[in-house]
Structure 1
């Protein structure tokens, strides 16, 4: 099967064979191309969030996760705890999250989304989904859902996360890609 993709500027990209050799057959090449396109699209979508994609990951995890402390949040996302402090400080300053005493352990501060943070995240999630759909435009909507589910399954298995947020894995890959550039 041959597929031709049209770029946003309207120019046609050469057809890709779904089978065969060359770089297109290499998983690493495919993941690299996909990650770069994802990074470009999603960076634009979350640009207004403090710390961009990483700030979005933290906000997503705060809203949808249940980490009991800032340290647990940092460990879950694979972010250095000192970096997490600055990141949370900026999210607090933007009015998106707040530090609250953890009722289960008063020595800890639990990071909790504010009403503004939850509304902002809903808008960011919509924008990210749109950017992802542009990145995955070669796939039909049901194929995109299947691709996301399969990718999440592999990522969570590699991280030892039971059905959790695959954003942590993507964040590490993006950070590594940023460090390599």
Structure 2
């Protein structure tokens, strides 16, 4: 057997139909537990972290684009943003391209809070992947990213939040 086809203790070579769902569910549950703990000090928890991260790293042009990117209903997003504004981590400003729309920007406090929580999330992710060799963890990340982008491209309205709710 070559290195790539050898099994490790507990590995199986053949998959049983349906096992993928169980595997993904277990990984997702392990991730969710660690992620929740990592962002427990973030206003609005996981969703607050996701919104703040998208605002800082994706710079959506307006509130509507932010909601579409995160697949969050606009009513839910409004309440979520109210929480983040009240916490002083984001601000709503008029969209320079359309003064009727609002752009969401991070405050200095929000950028600092995000940096602190990104370190915590990174540590949580490393903990989740600790059972894998470094190369395997990197390969898993690349493959999951490719798979997720493909699903998002072919099913653009798919909400990862709904998947979590139905797990």
**TM-score of the superposed pair, with normalisation by structure 2:** 0.85
1:30 to 2:37 alignment = no
Q: Counterpart of 1:155?
A: 148
Other structure's SS at 2:131 match:
coil
Report matched runs for 1:4-153 at 5 Å. Answer: 16-21=10-15, 26-153=19-146
Offset from partner CA, 1:50-74 (integer Å, 9 cap, x none): 2211111111100001211111111
Gaps of 5+ in 1: 4-15, 162-167
Q: Using the alignment, how far apart are the partners of 2:8 and 2:51 within structure 1? A: 39
More deviation, 30-39/70-79: 70-79
Q: Using the alignment, how far apart are the partners of 1:103 and 1:61 within structure 2? A: 19
- Higher RCO (C-alpha 8 Å, min separation 6): 2
Q: Using the alignment, how far apart are the partners of 2:19 and 2:49 within structure 1? A: 30
Aligned length: 159
Q: Using the alignment, how far apart are the partners of 2:122 and 2:139 within structure 1? A: 15
Gaps of 5+ in 2: 1-6
In the TM superposition, residue 21 of structure 1 has moved relative to its aligned partner by 4.6
**RMSD of aligned Cα (Å):** 2.2
Q: Using the alignment, how far apart are the partners of 1:142 and 1:97 within structure 2? A: 37
User: Is this contact kept in 2: 1:39–1:174, CA < 8 A?
Assistant: no
Other structure's SS at 1:136 match:
helix
User: Is this contact kept in 2: 1:95–1:117, CA < 8 A?
Assistant: yes
In the TM superposition, residue 176 of structure 1 has moved relative to its aligned partner by 3.3
